[in-house]
């Protein structure tokens, strides 16, 4: 809207960058796979070759972060070393090895009047990305975008600005050396915060905008962008343990879903247990979760069942009464909400009322319970008898992912290369007219 326009110079920078990106994109839109793959491999090599410059820049970001009191967890996500950089370069080579989505024919037929019709994958065009302080995202996004025939305009977090600048310089030098326009990968960090606003208003110049970062960043982009947006990453994931669940398996799965990596969006946040097995199973699961240091936020029934076990094991500090906010919370930490329900239908109602639509798991051996659960869900992924942690581009066979979409349009769940394309209808006739 008019009231949230960016200052003139930020708008100018974004307009000029987007225009150069559009021109550059045309040079790879229909490029053979070999050209794009060679560029990606050259980009990977350039990252390694520029290790010194990138680590020096990263050290300056880290110093600024420490000076401004950045938390250790965030500092760790920002930090690079030669081995992490090699890992980032390796991920880039893996993207080069993926099949090319461009040119794939999705469907087609000969119409009754003889028209030959096909729908073909083509690049989206110019992709914008607004993200926070993780330098590896800069590389992943650039690689996925180019592999799918797109140009990318990056707006990284100010905390990583020196690292991102050094990385982008290395990537652009590789593109140039390959005879490709360096404008395929551009940054608008120079425009500061206003650059992000200008990016969100550049409808037509930018074809797709993907925010990746905290909930505040994502909400701001969703609410302010008139460029089409794909929302990513918010995951209040549930695990329902039915009366028919295989109980040992269920303990392993909830431990994996909650504790294998706590900061990720596909970690479990709420455990829902059928009352018939709650007394037998919940204390076992709780003991294993407590061993990992997990605090349980239990509803009344769960609290009654768990209190004696917590007392006996000395885990009183890891058991709390749940509040209504617990059902809505994506903890991102060793915390788990726990609820006991009467049946699968009650579990479905709880999940539908509180989920962010990312991933829900059902642990059951009763086929009708599994079917009811799947039919009752409205989320990007439903997992049966496995950990929620499998909602991941790599695990589901996409090779790599740009993020995990929790919206229903265009992309739902892990976004791979195909989600960075659109389609074009190609219709061939022999002088056909409509009558």
User: Minimum distance between the CB of residue 234 and its own copies, rounded to whole angstroms?
Assistant: 12
Per CB under 8 A, the list member of 79, 217, 222, 309 interacting with its own copies is 222
Q: Near its own copies by CB under 8 A, which window of 48-56, 85-93, 202-210, 316-324?
A: 202-210
CB closer to its own copies, 135 vs 414: 414
Per CB under 8 A, the list member of 69, 216, 314, 431 interacting with its own copies is 431
Query: Rounded to whole angstroms, how far apart are CA atoms 58 and 283?
Result: 46
Q: Near its own copies by CB under 8 A, which window of 134-142, 189-197, 233-241, 247-255?
A: 247-255
Name the phi and psi angles at 16, rounded to 5.
Answer: -65, -40
Residue 346 binding its own copies, by CB under 8 A: no
Query: Rounded to whole angstroms, how far apart are CA atoms 431 and 217?
Result: 52
List, in sequence order, every beta strand (DSSP E) within 171-265: 185-187, 208-212, 237-241
Strand, helix or coil for residue 213: coil
CB closer to its own copies, 72 vs 397: 397
Residue 374 binding its own copies, by CB under 8 A: yes
User: Minimum distance between the CB of residue 131 and its own copies, rounded to whole angstroms?
Assistant: 19
Residue 260 binding its own copies, by CB under 8 A: yes
Residue 382 binding its own copies, by CB under 8 A: yes
Query: Rounded to whole angstroms, how far apart are CA atoms 418 and 122?
Result: 9
How far from chain centre, in Å, is Cα 298?
Answer: 29
Binding characters for its own copies, 120-159, by CB under 8 A (x = yes): --x-xx----------------------------------
Query: Rounded to whole angstroms, how far apart are CA atoms 384 and 81?
Result: 39
Query: Rounded to whole angstroms, how far apart are CA atoms 218 and 298?
Result: 30
CB closer to its own copies, 334 vs 386: 386
- Angle, alpha carbons 371-374-375 (nearest 5°): 85
Residue 111 binding its own copies, by CB under 8 A: yes
Binding characters for its own copies, 14-53, by CB under 8 A (x = yes): ---------------xx-----------------------
Query: Rounded to whole angstroms, how far apart are CA atoms 235 and 261?
Result: 13
Q: What DSSP designation does 292 have?
A: T
Per CB under 8 A, the list member of 76, 81, 252, 342 interacting with its own copies is 252
Residue 3 binding its own copies, by CB under 8 A: yes
405: Cβ contacts below 8 Å, ≥ 6 apart: 230, 231, 232, 380, 411, 412, 413, 414, 415, 419
- Size of site (CB under 8 A) for its own copies: 69
Name the phi and psi angles at 190, rounded to 5.
Answer: -60, -25
* Nearest Cα residue to 187 out of 171, 208, 165: 165
List, in sequence order, every beta strand (DSSP E) within 245-328: 268-274, 295-298, 319-321
Residue 234 binding its own copies, by CB under 8 A: no
Residue 295 binding its own copies, by CB under 8 A: no
Query: Rounded to whole angstroms, how far apart are CA atoms 183 and 150?
Result: 11
User: Minimum distance between the CB of residue 194 and its own copies, rounded to whole angstroms?
Assistant: 17
Residue 247 binding its own copies, by CB under 8 A: no
Q: Near its own copies by CB under 8 A, which window of 44-52, 108-116, 164-172, 191-199?
A: 108-116
Binding site for its own copies (CB under 8 A): 1, 3-4, 29-30, 109, 111, 115, 117, 122, 124-125, 203, 207-208, 222-224, 226, 228-230, 246, 249, 252-253, 255-257, 260, 374-375, 377-387, 389-391, 395-397, 407-410, 412-414, 422-434
């Amino acid at each position: 809207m008019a009231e949230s326009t960016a200052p003139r110079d930020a708008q100018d920078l974004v307009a000029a960058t987007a225009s150069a990106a559009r021109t550059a994109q045309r040079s790879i839109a229909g490029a053979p796979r070999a050209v794009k793959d060679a560029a990606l491999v050259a980009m990977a090599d350039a990252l390694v070759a520029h290790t010194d410059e990138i680590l020096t820049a990263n050290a300056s970001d880290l110093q600024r972060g420490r000076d401004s009191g950045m938390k250790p967890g965030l500092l760790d996500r920002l930090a690079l070393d030669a081995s992490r950089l090699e890992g980032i370069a390796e991920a880039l080579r893996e993207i080069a090895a993926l099949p090319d989505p461009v040119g794939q024919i999705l469907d087609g037929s000969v119409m009754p009047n003889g028209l030959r019709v096909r729908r073909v994958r083509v690049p989206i065009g110019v992709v914008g990305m607004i993200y926070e302080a993780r330098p590896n995202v800069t590389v992943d996004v650039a690689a996925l975008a180019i592999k799918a025939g797109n140009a990318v305009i990056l707006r990284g977090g100010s905390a990583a600005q020196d690292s991102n600048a050094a990385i982008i310089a290395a990537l652009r030098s590789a593109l140039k050396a390959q005879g490709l326009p360096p404008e395929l990968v551009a940054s608008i960090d120079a425009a500061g915060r206003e650059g992000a606003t200008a990016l969100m208003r550049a409808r037509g110049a930018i074809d797709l905008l993907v925010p990746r970062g905290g909930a505040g960043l994502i909400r701001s982009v969703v609410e302010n962008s008139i460029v089409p947006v794909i929302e990513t990453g918010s995951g209040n994931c549930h695990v329902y343990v039915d009366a028919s669940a295989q109980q040992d398996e269920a303990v392993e799965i909830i431990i994996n879903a909650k504790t294998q990596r706590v900061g990720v969006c596909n970690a479990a946040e709420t455990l829902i247990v059928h009352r018939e097995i709650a007394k037998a199973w919940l204390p076992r699961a709780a003991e294993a979760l407590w061993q990992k240091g997990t605090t349980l936020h239990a509803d009344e029934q769960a609290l009654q069942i768990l209190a004696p076990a917590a007392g006996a094991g000395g885990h009183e500090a890891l058991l709390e009464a749940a509040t209504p906010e617990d059902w809505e919370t994506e903890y991102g930490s060793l915390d788990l909400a726990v609820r006991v329900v009467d049946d699968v239908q009650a579990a479905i109602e709880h999940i539908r009322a509180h989920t962010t639509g990312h991933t829900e798991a059902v642990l059951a051996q009763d086929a009708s319970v599994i079917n009811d659960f799947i039919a009752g869900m409205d989320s990007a992924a439903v997992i049966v008898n496995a950990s929620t942690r499998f909602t991941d581009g790599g695990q589901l066979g996409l090779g790599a992912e740009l993020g995990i979409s929790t919206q229903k349009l265009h992309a739902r769940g892990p976004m791979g290369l195909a989600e960075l394309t659109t389609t074009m209808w190609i219709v061939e006739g022999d002088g056909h007219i409509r009558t």
